[in-house]
Amino acid sequence: MRLVITGSYEQMSIEAANIVAGQIYLKPNSVLGLATGSTPVSMYQRLIAVHKSLGLDFSQVTTFNLDEYIGMSPDNPQSYHYFMQENFFRHINISPENVFLPNGLAEDMVAEGERYEKLIEARGGIDLQVLGIGQNAHIGFNEPDVKFAATTHQVELDSETIQANSRFFASEDEVPRYAISMGIKTIMMAEHVILLANGRNKAEAVYKALCGDVTPEAPASILQLHRDVAVIIDKEAAAMLPDTIRGVNVTRKS
Ligand code: PGA
């Protein structure tokens, strides 16, 4: 595992965008796993800027998003379909037929999970997965649990997640209670993973992910077992980390 501690959210976003851009330059038909939330917004802005100024070409890129709320149509401004269109896809030259998110309106979520897994497999698997982290150390919508969920599946959101995500809604009551999310196995099968976190409110989750026991109670801790993870965070999110962490190669950038 590599850990890059940056001086700011902007620096974190630049580092992350450089890795994603590098992946696309090296393999133009890359399959990316993408995340929503506040954390990657500036990374997407940087990638859009690199597309516009340097011609970073997304025409052969395929993307699979981690998750979607259940019951939300793609044109609902609260949906993750909408978020991705607004924050990323409509600004780059990606082909709509290469963009995938789980269908939150599917009638049968078990069948939808299987369909999504098959699509990922048919595209050759995920080359680079981008992750945020919840305050409860969730990745995707894999909430703390007694076991690691394997593949794309329906989840019931944690009260902490509902509260955290209520900032995007008029009230907490409006936050969906269920979502469909890639599972831990789906994420762990990705060739490369980058985990992003910024802000003091993520410090405990980052500590659990990097220094805690590997346990489904802290889903991100499973990344300690992945063969190629770069954790890119700002100094606030690093506030609880010790100077040295076993098995982790630490770089500090201001
Ligand atoms: P955030 O969400 O980027 O909005 O903090 C991250 C997450 O919940 O995974």
Is 102 close to ligand 1, i.e. is its CB under 6 Å away? no
Q: Is the pTM of this model over 0.85?
A: yes
Closest ligand 1 atom to 36 CA: 3
Q: 104-128: per-residue pLDDT in tens? A: 999 999 999 999 999 999 999 999 9
The per-residue pLDDT for range 216-242, each reduced to its tens digit, is 999 999 999 999 999 999 999 999 999
> For residue 206, how many C-alpha atoms fall within 13 Å in the half-sphere facing its CB?
27
In whole angstroms, give the CA distance from residue 53 to residue 6. 24
The CATH class that applies to domain 2-253 reads alpha beta
pLDDT at residue 55 in the model: 97
- Tokens of residue 227, six digits: 């063969």
Tallying the residues shown for the chain, one arrives at 254
**Is residue 39 lining ligand 1, measured as CB closer than 6 Å?**
yes
- Ligand 1 centre to CA of 74 (Å) is 20
Q: What is the pLDDT of residue 111?
A: 98
Ligand 1 pocket test, pick from 12, 13, 38, 39 with the greatest ligand atom count within 8 Å of Cβ, gives: 39
Centre a 10 Å sphere on the Cβ of residue 78 and count the other Cβ atoms it contains.
Answer: 15
Write down the pLDDT at residue 237.
98
Regions of the chain with pLDDT less than 50:
none
Residue 254's pLDDT is 77
**How far is the CA of 1 from the CAs of 39, 211, 224, in angstroms?**
20, 12, 7
Q: Which two tokens stand for residue 103?
A: 């269908």
Does the beta carbon of 33 lie inside 6 Å of ligand 1? no
**pLDDT at res. 141:** 97
What integer pLDDT is reported at residue 38 of this predicted model?
A: 97
C-beta separation of 200 from 152 below 8 A: no
